[in-house]
Amino acid sequence: MLRFTLSRLLQAAVTLWMVATIVFFLARLTGDPVALLAGENATAEYEAEMRRRFGLDLPLWQQYLVFLKQLSMGDLGTSIVSGEPAMMQVLERWPATLEIAVAGVIITLSLALPIGVYAAANRGSWLDTFARAFAVLGQAVPAFWVGLIFILVFAVHLGWLPAGGRGTIWHVILPAITTGWFAVAGIMRLTRSSMLEVLASEYVKLARAKGLPARTVIWKHAFRNATIPVITFTALVVLAQFLTGSIVAETVFSYPGVGSLVIDALRKRDFPQLQAAVFFLSMLYVFVNLGIDLVYGFLDPRIRS
Amino acid sequence: MSSAPVLKVEGLVTELRSGGGSVRAVDDVSFEINAGETLGLVGESGSGKSMTCLSILRLIPSSVGRVTGGRVVLEGTDLMTLDEAQMRHHRGRRISIILQDPMTSLNPVLRIGDQVGEAIKLYRGLEGPALRDAIVDGLRAMRIPAPEQRVSAYPHELSGGMRQRVGAAIAMAGPPAVLIADEPTTALDATVQSQLLALLKDVQRETGLAILFVTHDFGIVATICDRVAVMYAGRIVELAPVAELFANPRHPYTEALLRSVPDLDVDVERLYSIEGQPPALDDLPAGCSFAPRCAYARDVCRERGPPRIEAGPLHHASCWKLAGYGD
Ligand SMILES: Nc1ncnc2c1ncn2[C@@H]1O[C@H](COP(=O)(O)OP(=O)(O)O)[C@@H](O)[C@H]1O
Ligand code: SF4
Ligand SMILES: [Mg+2]
């Protein structure tokens, strides 16, 4: 188990290094931040001075080495725009992203799991048919569009929920549903098919033959086995929510999280800020991935030993 | 051995969904089993043995099919007339089953103790330390070594033979009046197989259990069964006491099956297997289902279903040949 953990940690470090490298070079493809910052009337000397200050005058490979050296000491640089440590902005905004992600996962799972289980246990019922139709619909519609429709319906027409910003629990609901939308359909469908497979298994047949009530057969004997493949998918979806989902929802709902920070930094060519935000999201990705393995071990004793 | 039938199956019919229509996987099956007796149920793969077992327990999933006729009388109660809650009260408690594959029939994520314990708790209402003791006793009664340690093991930590003993411990938790054993030893190697058979025989001697033992192995039939029913395409074509059946098989299918028994003394080349394939249920021939493979078939066999002939006390077979082809 120790060797397993160490090798997974090494893998994680390599992944993070690769992500950092890709972000570093991609960011520099977007153009020159100094041109944006200094404005059109700036003198050539002023621009050269700024470039020196941010270390942008060095050859690219030297910039990269400096970046790696700082990174290895846990320093993600200073924002070109605000002049503050880049990580500070990220840490300030991170609770907002977490809020949406957690609310999104809770809403997603509390819809997708029961519906998936019920649809499988009552195969062919009207709810099963409806659930399957909904799943197809859900996966065909993009998240940003759902977000806009939600704003139109619940904020503009009905006036029930705020159209954007952060502050109360009401602000969280629409972005959370928007990020979770895609996942509900997928997790529901996966739960259903996984349950159907488990319900046809020999151990479920034996559980029924024991005379156990249907409730016990479904939740104690079938559900836990059926969730094993669902976990990976859910975890991947959670990751997607941290990465793409948070970016889409936070932008549509002007929610001040790490996702909208990425877009901001990109727009202003604030390289260190962009690097810090993406690096942070990737770190979450890697840690959640590590977490999945532990959850697996908990659910499936065959993996533990 | 007492002689009151604890299980009486009469005219059982199970229809499975097939394409747009339905096929009869169990067709007019009748037999009785007395306390302390073992009835063998033999037949080629696909002949409907497992469907018969599941029909008796009323465990055919509705997406697969349903029992459409007949009675299953367990200790005087017709199970087919019960509602689901009443039926559940009999399942496991009075009539239990051991499934064929020990590798898949235990839940991989639950501990052995839990899987045995939930049955004991349900049937006998035990809790806490009393339940724990009963679980260990149950495992020990099935001759599982170091039962105190096995309680906290997961199925994948046990061998196939041990898992099948756990299956037996679950099946005996009631303890039941009738045990259905659906090829419980088919997946096991010879030594483990004979240990399990010996165990079941001992348990039967102590408890007066009635056993329906499904197998396609006549060696096992000879070891454990008192009487044996031969199944073909969903029907019981012959039923007789074991010695009588071996000495005097009357149905051409039984004869062919017995000839196909691998004899360890002869060369492999001389082993006999029945020519042809069992018929598909959705394409059964008119008349006798066995006619396409039967050396004795005549016109009448292909036109009308064969009559049931009493071939001796406790011995009957359904065949036109035994009825003089209707002359
Ligand atoms: N889950 C199922 N769905 C549909 N048909 C089935 C199913 N299980 C078995 N059958 C069919 O029922 C018939 C009897 O099968 P079964 O009782 O399993 O045979 P046996 O146990 O004698 O090998 C076969 O024709 C088989 O194809
Ligand atoms: S009824 Fe005819 S075909 Fe069927 S087993 Fe008897 S002799 Fe053969
Ligand atoms: Mg079978």
pLDDT for B1 equals: 46
**What is the average pLDDT across B269-281?**
69
Q: How confident is the model at residue B162 (pLDDT cuts 50, 70, 90)?
A: very high
| Alpha helices, H only, B155-236 | 160-171, 190-207, 218-224
Read off the pLDDT of residues A165-202 as tens digits, 9 standing for 90 and up: 787 888 888 888 888 777 788 888 889 999 999 999 99
Candidate from A31-40, A272-281, B139-148 with smallest mean pLDDT = A31-40
Q: How confident is the model at residue B271 (pLDDT cuts 50, 70, 90)?
A: very low
pLDDT for B262 equals: 62
Walk across the sheet containing B21-34 and list its strands: B21-34, B5-18, B65-74, B77-78
Report the share of chain B in percent with pLDDT over 70. Answer: 95
Read off the pLDDT of residues B217-253 as tens digits, 9 standing for 90 and up: 898 999 999 999 999 999 999 999 999 999 999 999 9
B79 and B193 co-located in one domain: yes
pLDDT at B129 over 50: yes
Task: Please list every residue in chain B whose beta carbon sits closer than 8 Å to the beta carbon of residue A210.
Answer: 91-92, 96, 118-119, 122, 170
Q: Is B25 in the pocket of ligand 1 (CB under 6 A)?
A: yes
| Residue-number span of the structural domain to which B138 is assigned | 105-173
B110 and B223 co-located in one domain: no
Picking from B274, B295, B320, the residue at the C-terminal end of a domain is B274
Q: How confident is the model at residue A139 (pLDDT cuts 50, 70, 90)?
A: confident
B189 and B262 co-located in one domain: yes
* CA angle centred on B25, ends B20 and B30, rounded to 5°: 140
Candidate from B48-52, B78-82, B208-212, B217-221 with smallest mean pLDDT = B217-221
pLDDT for B16 equals: 96
Candidate from A215-219, A275-279, A292-296 with smallest mean pLDDT = A292-296
- Do B109 and A212 count as a contact with CB atoms less than 8 A apart? no
Between CA B131 and CA B118 the distance in angstroms is 9
pLDDT for A303 equals: 65
pLDDT at B272 over 60: no
Q: Is B26 in the pocket of ligand 1 (CB under 6 A)?
A: no
B154 and B215 co-located in one domain: no
- Do A305 and B157 count as a contact with CB atoms less than 8 A apart? yes
pLDDT for B105 equals: 96
B26 and B129 co-located in one domain: no
pLDDT for B132 equals: 97
* Helix (H) or strand (E) run with residue A230 in it: helix A224-240
Residue whose CB lies within 8 A of the most ligand 2 atoms, among B231, B232, B254, B290, for a mutation test: B290
Q: Which of B91, B93, B101 sits opposite A202 (nearest CB)?
A: B101
B186 and B90 co-located in one domain: yes
CA of B260 to the centre of ligand 2 (A): 18
Domains of chain A in start order, with CATH, are 87-193+232-304 (1.10.3720.10)
* Domain contains B201: yes
* Domain contains B295: no
B24 and B51 co-located in one domain: yes
Read off the pLDDT of residues B296-325 as tens digits, 9 standing for 90 and up: 999 999 999 999 999 988 999 999 999 999
Instruction: Tell me the pLDDT of chain B averaged across its residues.
Output: 92
Using CA atoms, how far residue B325 sits from B254, B287, B297, B310, in Å, is: 18, 12, 9, 15
What are the residues whose beta carbons fall under 8 Å from the beta carbon of B48, sequence distance 6 or more?
Answer: B14, B25, B26, B27, B29, B231, B233, B234
- ipTM score of the complex? 0.92
CATH number at residue B207: 3.40.50.300
Between CA A56 and CA A48 the distance in angstroms is 9
B180 and B266 co-located in one domain: yes
Count structural domains, chain B: 2
pLDDT for A269 equals: 85
Output the pTM of the full model. Answer: 0.81
Q: Are strands B65-74 and B5-18 parallel, antiparallel or unpaired?
A: antiparallel
B133 and B243 co-located in one domain: no
B82 and B231 co-located in one domain: yes
Read off the pLDDT of residues A228-275 as tens digits, 9 standing for 90 and up: 888 877 777 766 666 667 788 888 888 888 888 988 888 888 888 988
pLDDT for A210 equals: 97
B69 and B156 co-located in one domain: no
The residue assigned the tokens 């725009």 is A81
